[in-house]
Amino acid sequence: MSAKRNVLGRGLSALLENAKTDITSNKLEGEGTVVGAIANINISNIETNPFQPRTYFEEDALNELAASIKEHGIIQPITVRKLGYDNYQLISGERRFRASQLAGLTSVPAYIRIANDQAMLEMALVENIQRENLDAIEVAISYKRLIDECSLTQEQLSQKVSKQRSTITNYLRLLKLPVEIQLAIRKGDITMGHARALINVENPDKQLDIYSHIVLNNLSVREVEDLVRGVKTESALPSDKTNTGAKKITKGNLTFEQLKIVEDLRAVFNAKVNISKESTGKGKIVIPFKSDNDLKRILDLLDA
């Protein structure tokens, strides 16, 4: 009781000497450990990172990770910085943090660091680039943020993330593609290889034309590279070989809205649905099936 009176009597200075309050201290009260060591921290005392470069976390993957944490615990500690009295902010490991909440944990193991906002942003971005399963656009955005917000050159960035400078450049070039194509990369409709081939076409409209060919004809990266070479030399897309009649059918003249319809139909039927259009504007919708049972499934969906 007297010890408590002594602390209160000394006022604010006594509180600031508390390691849980003093954000410049490298000691953790009552644990004898230093900043950088692993300590268990109450989840309720941790706030999320406002600089988190990843904004989407797949629900199924989070649930799987939560189940693993329930069974095995957290193998890789999260990283936090100390803000004040028993108050921390997440630097990296948000997937583990969210999954721990889903698993019902009340505390998590964490590395405790002291960092200003810029250093915190840099650590979060670099950690996510190296350890998270980011899609190519998320990686590109993270690279750009490191360059723009942390004042890094591409050479400095390549050293921090242990990547060749040419790799950094290739990712950054993805951000110059039309937003429709960037969205397709994020959703996994086309790969990084497809996108790198598209970058070599300067005209955005032609990039979108080729993109529609990729999606609707399921083109390989090699086929796209050949197509791009043809566009660059002939300044025109090759016509489809599927129709030799007077009314040429093409799959490369769909609008972005029509491409979205294709994506929606594929999601509904869980099949590679395609839309073909004639030059007159007429067309057809093709829904392929793999077996009699698959056909019955599709028919049931149509009847629903």
Which is the catalytic residue, given 31, 64, 71, 94? 94
Angle at 195 between CA 189 and CA 197, to 5 degrees: 135
Where is average pLDDT lowest: 41-45, 91-95, 166-170, 173-177?
91-95
Q: How far is CA 164 from the centre of its chain?
A: 21
Task: Let me know if residue 181 belongs to a domain.
Answer: no
- Across the beta sheet with 107-113, the strand order is 38-42, 107-113, 78-84, 87-92, 46-47
CB 146 within 8 A of CB 157: yes
| Domain with 298 in it | 248-304
Of 228, 199, 193, 202, residue with least CA distance to 213: 228
* Torsion sign across C-alpha atoms 88, 89, 92, 93: positive
What digits encode the pLDDT tens for the residues 268-289? Answer: 888 888 887 776 777 888 888 8
The last residue of one of the domains, among 81, 99, 134, is 134
Task: Let me know if residue 237 belongs to a domain.
Answer: no
Domain count, the chain: 2
**Is 94 a residue of the active site?**
yes
- Higher pLDDT among residues 124 and 159, named by residue: 159
Task: Let me know if residue 164 belongs to a domain.
Answer: no
The last residue of one of the domains, among 134, 169, 197, is 134
Dist CA 92 CA 132 (whole Å): 10
Is the pTM for the entire model greater than 0.85? no
Task: Let me know if residue 169 belongs to a domain.
Answer: no
The last residue of one of the domains, among 113, 134, 155, is 134
Residue 42 pLDDT exceeds 90: yes
The one-letter amino acid at 111: Y
What digits encode the pLDDT tens for the residues 105-125? Answer: 999 999 887 767 677 778 777
CB 207 within 8 A of CB 181: yes
